[in-house]
Chains A and B, each alone.
Chain A
Amino acid sequence: MAHREVLSEPGKRVLMLGNVAIARGALEYGIGFASAYPGTPSSEIVEALSYAARKLKRPYVEWSVNEKVALEAAYGAALSGVASLAAMKHVGVNVAADPLFSSAYTGVEAPFVVVSADDPGMHSSQNEQDNRWYGVHAYIPVVEPAGAQEAKRAVIEAYHISGKFHTPVILRSTTRIGHTRVPVETGEIDLEKLEPRGGFRKNIERYTLVPAHARKLRAELVEKWEEIAEWFSKHPLNEAKGPEDSSVLVVGVGLGYTYAREALRELGLDRKVRVLKIQTPVPLPSKLLLREAEGRDKVFFVEEGEPVVETLAKSSFYDEGIRARVAGKSNGYITRVGELTLDKVLPGLARFLGIDYSLPEKPRVNLSAPPRPPVLCPGCPYRAVFYALRRAVGKARIKPVYTGDIGCYSLGVLPPFEMQDTIVEMGGSIGLANGMAHVAKDQIPIAIIGDSTFFHAGMPGLANAVYNKAPMLVVVLDNRTTAMTGHQPHPGVGVTAMGEETVELDPRRVAEAYGIEYVALTNAFDIKGQEKVFYEALEYVKKEQKPALVVARGACILLAIANARKAGVRYTVYTVDEDKCIACGLCYKAFNCPAIIPKENGKVYIDPLLCTGCGECAQICPVNAFKPVEEPDPEWIKIMATAKPR
């Protein structure tokens, strides 16, 4: 997506997504370099920057192969004197943790901000993880905007802090910051500052972390940490409001501030209680907190994620003999599970203050909605892959373990396929198979991994499988894009974030270079053809006890449609011959394209608004009841194999 608002003219009030506001802030500050690996809820930051880079020919912007490389690349640019940004989702920081910790020791020449987009509530993630702890753990300051409305200012301040202390800074965002749209006042963008030109100056004692150097830097780091905490206690991003003599202090951290304010208003206390807004949680601005808590009876903390500031503040209060009662997430006044809502904050605050409060009355509806989990799109190539793979497994008479991975294909966990036995983290499909292959002796692991995930974290696992002779079938789902996160390009598709052509890395050639003997390519939309290849591959693994790899290539149908529209090519929808249909139910019990809709009599029809003309259903129907409304355009068939993001 383009996110054109990022380049709105200065001096306007423009509605934009928090993530776009973050990108805008980085442009107004003047960064020369940005890198990211996509991940919800962070992707729109670098999408917006890539739009800007195509229009302005600067800054330099890339989709990196994974978060570790993204962080290293931006770190390298900052060491070379160019202000930089690296963006990733919360779990991406786990992948990038190694260089992150080192960056605190070496410090940076030019300002360097790492955006960590946390996902409390797990809207699109495998865990809830509060990355402000990384700041505490790695000695990296954290800035946390109080909502999308503060995001642009917070990024700019983060760059100033980084520049002042020559330290990397983590900008911690969350789903409800990045994916919330608010009016943003636009400032000037200075094109000169976006120029990605720098130079590396040798500084052996600082940039080579051999033990002798690192020991010195460690001492420096701890000292600097105190200085930053002092600075944060006076920083304008933090501010106290309300009566000085209030017996209660409510501390709102980041987005928590907005809920704190609304909760107080709801209780009629907004003018009666002192509120402290904290946007620089780490290192704890302890002087400020001590000053504000001194002499009060009660202190209540509202923060998104874990009780980070609350825990740090309690320890500080203890040291200074402040005896106020403290409550929040550390002692059950607000639940730690899920994202913040007023429904969670209000009762906790009321209970702590001894106020009678009951939640508003809500309508009670005595009928439940059907479950509606996300599903594979109509026409998704993966439906054909799963269908063919399951048949091949049956034919080869093996006991499979489908080690799954992270991407749209994770949705294969749902009925009717249920062909993702494990989903843990990116690269985990091949990773876990490496262990299973050696111990689950009468089963064969089938690692199912997307193309973007293969380049991200699949390759080391695959090298390991060859080296350690782990029998497994690896199926690489080459849908020409990183689909789940919004169709970004990756190293397999030959296009960069700046829209330039580049080499296409081919997973088959990687596998061959690693020494895998059985390597094959299939058309992901062709059910019979694939079934045959999968069967052969499984026979090979069974017999040779070695890894085999099959690349199933077929474009994400949404990408194919977008490419076709650009090229003026139309796809042909399918329809059902009522007279032929025998109401066997195979297509809605074992295949389940959302465009195929069962009727009362068990026969089906195809919703032409949903059908994307993939032609898969026509291959599974035992009586050939599905047919295209007209002969499909050969150009469309070609696009289904070769589409790519731009």
Chain B
Amino acid sequence: MSEKPFNLVIVGVGGQGIITMANVLASAAVAKDHNAIVAETHGLSQRGGTVIVHVRLGEAEAPLIMEGKADLLIALEATEALRYANYLAKGAPAIVDSRLLRPPLPNVEMPSLEEVYKALGEAGIRVFKTNAVEKAEELGNPQGANMYLLGYGLAVNGYGGYVDAPSIEETIRQKVRNPEANIKVFRAGYEDGLKARQ
């Protein structure tokens, strides 16, 4: 056990590209000769249900992160951050995108974005607010929100030092469709994350 593991939970809704995002990150760590474990959600929940993917970099053995032990939470849909905030360690930040997806059921009570951010803040979580979908759209890649947030996360706390921008970009080149367009949003996310951290 030389390397203290870095624990990341990525949450959202089936179909948002969360598995790809987790894979790029883990492959980049593996390319740098580190260990990685990614516990994914497949099957039923991919039909628009809630999704949580656990990513552990470094010498971790068990696939699931313990509640209260995640070093970072990235939510691709804002209300999903409410569902999984309990994974965060004390003082660990959350990157919460402004995207709100209403569950397509009759008569669902949907909190507003302001309420979501307020509740997370009141729980003592340092929240980074993003607009990944708009940013990705502006760069001509509406499907690229996941890569934007991947870049943003790297800027916010560096994923424990197991990866860096070049290793992630190389992995995007090898693993993702339309690599150049995705690298562009990844970089934009990274830049915005650096700014937000100051």
In the complex the two chains form, what is the Cα distance from A640 to B2 in whole Å? 55
A sample of 10 more A-B contacts (CB under 8 A), given A342-B69, A366-B119, A373-B49, is A17-B40, A359-B67, A360-B90, A364-B86, A365-B86, A370-B103, A370-B108, A374-B48, A375-B104, A377-B48
20 contacts between A and B (CB under 8 A): A14-B30, A124-B42, A148-B63, A179-B41, A259-B62, A262-B61, A265-B1, A342-B69, A343-B66, A360-B66, A360-B69, A363-B85, A363-B86, A366-B119, A367-B116, A368-B82, A374-B45, A374-B49, A375-B104, A592-B106
Closest CB-CB distance, A412 to chain B, in whole Å? 12
The chain B residue sitting closest to A265, CB to CB, is B1
Which residues from B are CB-within-8-Å of A375? Answer: 47-49, 103-105
The chain A residue sitting closest to B77, CB to CB, is A372
A residues with CB within 8 A of B? 13-15, 17, 40-41, 44, 123-124, 147-149, 176, 179-183, 255, 258-259, 261-262, 265, 270, 339-343, 346, 359-377, 408, 411, 414-416, 484-486, 588-589, 592-594, 596-597, 609
Among B120-128, B146-154, B157-165, B185-193, which stretch is in contact with chain A? B120-128
Which residues from B are CB-within-8-Å of A414? Answer: 105
Closest CB-CB distance, B109 to chain A, in whole Å? 6
Which residues from B are CB-within-8-Å of A373? Answer: 49, 103, 105
The answer to whether B37 and A366 have CB atoms under 8 Å apart is no
In the complex the two chains form, what is the Cα distance from A365 to B122 in whole Å? 7
Which residues from B are CB-within-8-Å of A485? Answer: 43
Scan B96-115; emit 1 where CB is below 8 A from any A CB, else 0.
00000011111011110001
The secondary-structure label for the interface of chain A is loop
Contact of A370 among B48, B88, B110 (CB under 8 A): B110
The answer to whether B123 and A15 have CB atoms under 8 Å apart is no
With A123-B41, A362-B68, A363-B86 known as contacts, the answer to whether A589 contacts B106 (CB < 8 A) is yes
The answer to whether A40 and B42 have CB atoms under 8 Å apart is yes
Closest CB-CB distance, B37 to chain A, in whole Å? 5
The answer to whether A371 and B103 have CB atoms under 8 Å apart is yes
Which residues from B are CB-within-8-Å of A369? Answer: 50, 79-80, 82-83
Task: Scan residues 131-163 of chain B and give those whose CB is less than 8 A from a CB of chain A.
Answer: 142
Which residues from B are CB-within-8-Å of A360? Answer: 66-69, 89-90
Scan B28-53; emit 1 where CB is below 8 A from any A CB, else 0.
00100101111111111111111000
Which residues from B are CB-within-8-Å of A374? Answer: 14, 44-49
The answer to whether B82 and A367 have CB atoms under 8 Å apart is yes
Scan B1-40; emit 1 where CB is below 8 A from any A CB, else 0.
1000000000001100000001100110010010111111
The answer to whether B43 and A124 have CB atoms under 8 Å apart is yes
In the complex the two chains form, what is the Cα distance from A537 to B100 in whole Å? 43
Which residues from A are CB-within-8-Å of B39? Answer: 176, 179-180
In the complex the two chains form, what is the Cα distance from A340 to B44 in whole Å? 20
B residues with CB within 8 A of A? 1, 13-14, 22-23, 26-27, 30, 33, 35-50, 60-64, 66-69, 79-80, 82-83, 85-90, 102-106, 108-111, 115-116, 119-120, 122-125, 142
In the complex the two chains form, what is the Cα distance from A204 to B110 in whole Å? 68
The answer to whether A123 and B45 have CB atoms under 8 Å apart is yes
Which residues from B are CB-within-8-Å of A41? Answer: 42-43
Q: Which of B105, B115, B120, B142 has most A Cβ within 10 Å?
A: B105
**Interface Cβ pair total, 8 Å cutoff:** 193
The answer to whether A415 and B30 have CB atoms under 8 Å apart is no
The chain A residue sitting closest to B133, CB to CB, is A609
In the complex the two chains form, what is the Cα distance from A411 to B36 in whole Å? 34
Contact of A372 among B60, B66, B103 (CB under 8 A): B103
In the complex the two chains form, what is the Cα distance from A594 to B104 in whole Å? 5
Which residues from B are CB-within-8-Å of A486? Answer: 42
Closest CB-CB distance, A270 to chain B, in whole Å? 8
Closest CB-CB distance, A11 to chain B, in whole Å? 15
The answer to whether B105 and A183 have CB atoms under 8 Å apart is no
The chain B residue sitting closest to A174, CB to CB, is B63
The answer to whether A363 and B125 have CB atoms under 8 Å apart is yes
The answer to whether B43 and A371 have CB atoms under 8 Å apart is no
Which residues from B are CB-within-8-Å of A366? Answer: 119, 122-123
In the complex the two chains form, what is the Cα distance from A13 to B27 in whole Å? 10
In the complex the two chains form, what is the Cα distance from A410 to B33 in whole Å? 44
Closest CB-CB distance, B32 to chain A, in whole Å? 11
The answer to whether B36 and A15 have CB atoms under 8 Å apart is yes
Contact of A182 among B37, B44, B85, B142 (CB under 8 A): B37
With A368-B82, A369-B80, A592-B104 known as contacts, the answer to whether A176 contacts B63 (CB < 8 A) is yes
The answer to whether B44 and A416 have CB atoms under 8 Å apart is no
In the complex the two chains form, what is the Cα distance from A33 to B109 in whole Å? 52
Which residues from B are CB-within-8-Å of A262? Answer: 60-62
The chain A residue sitting closest to B124, CB to CB, is A363
The answer to whether A176 and B64 have CB atoms under 8 Å apart is yes
In the complex the two chains form, what is the Cα distance from A124 to B115 in whole Å? 32
